[in-house]
Amino acid sequence: MGMLTYVLSRLAGLIPVLLAVSFVSFLLIQLSPGDPAEVVIRVNALTPTPELLAETRTQLGLDKPFLARYLHWLTHALQGDLGTRHIDGKPVAEEMARALPPTLLLAGTAAVVILLCSIPAALISAFFEGSLPDVVLRTLLFVSTSFPTFWAGLLLLWLFSVHWDLLPLSGLEEPRSLILPSITLALPYISTYTRLLRGSLLEAKQQNFVLYEKTCGLRVTTILRHIFRNSLQTSLTGLGMSLPRLIAGTFVVECLFAWPGLGRLCVSAIFNRDLPVIQAYILLMGILFALFKAFMEICAALADPRMRDRGKK
């Protein structure tokens, strides 16, 4: 199976997955407690009389069958229309587009922090397996994982912003504002990715090619480079699933650091029962998970052509 054929088959397989994501995101909102028409009325400080409720349901299309509502919403969503916010009538797509770049910036910076910390830590831990550096690194990683995200963020805020006054306290005003939120977001993932990469490295160390290279007298750095390349498959898949998790998990950090991103927008929508925004957020997160998974599988196939042969069987 050629690479182009493999990529096209993976992209074609995304279509039913994305349709299922859209259906589930629409269904979850429809099953949420309360009457959406009453929510819209109360948000606008009006009294929900029977006549006003009936008129609002008609405007929202709630008087139509479920399948008709879903197809209407899906058709408009494919055109970039995700509805309007209940609280101010602004287009949801515009609000999501405004909040998405800060979230991507935060998640991308956190991903860089994860790679810069986890790859050297995994290499050192695997090279010195069972020795003091390995034990110390694994202990530090275990301790860092046990910190809840909000608590670690509060500690960093107190230490670097309040006590030492070295970094901004909140908001997105300058490049330094990225440091504390990105570190807070990356902390739980550094340990996970380090353990995953360390396990892959230790497994690759047991392969016959390592013994052959040692008997040939190759340098240690060359052998480590080959071991690292052969352990990338599992690590790439894990990293691919971590990226959408980083984006989806920013809401705690964004609320803590007053970051103007998607997570903060969604939390505000939850408190205001702004259902179109919540629905769009669920849809976007589902799409990101599906796309990143397919993208990382394609990257893994590029790194290891045997993956394409497995998909052919």
Residue 248 falls within a domain, yes or no? yes
259-282 tens-digit pLDDT: 999 999 999 998 888 889 999 999
Domain CATH number, residue 153 = 1.10.3720.10
What's the total number of domains in the chain?
1
> What is the pLDDT averaged over residues 116-134?
87
Q: What are the CA-CA distances from residue 281 to residues 33, 139, 224, 287 (Å)?
A: 18, 37, 42, 10
Residue 69 falls within a domain, yes or no? no
Residue 264 falls within a domain, yes or no? yes
Pairwise CA distance, residues 82 & 274, whole Å: 13
Closest to 126 measured CA to CA, from 231, 204, 198, 228? 198
pLDDT band at residue 313 using 50, 70 and 90 as cut-offs: very low
45-50, long-range: CB within 8 Å, 24+ apart, which pairs? none
Residue 199 falls within a domain, yes or no? yes
Residue 251 falls within a domain, yes or no? yes
Whether the CA torsion 143, 144, 145, 147 is positive or negative: it is positive
Closest to 181 measured CA to CA, from 239, 108, 117? 108
At residue 236, the pLDDT reads 67
Pairwise CA distance, residues 103 & 285, whole Å: 12
Residue 19: alpha-carbon gap to chain centroid: 20
At residue 219, the pLDDT reads 83
Please, what is the end-to-end C-alpha distance for the chain in angstroms?
Answer: 10
Pairwise CA distance, residues 286 & 281, whole Å: 9
180-199 tens-digit pLDDT: 999 999 988 888 888 888 88
Tokens of 278: 């919540």
73-113 tens-digit pLDDT: 999 999 999 999 888 888 999 999 999 999 999 999 998 99
Length of the chain: 313
- Domain extent, residue 277, equals 101-304
Pairwise CA distance, residues 206 & 81, whole Å: 53
Residue 90 falls within a domain, yes or no? no
- R_g of the chain computed on alpha carbons: 24
Residue 308 has pLDDT above 70, yes or no: no
Single pTM value for the model? 0.84
Residue 72 falls within a domain, yes or no? no
Residue 91 falls within a domain, yes or no? no
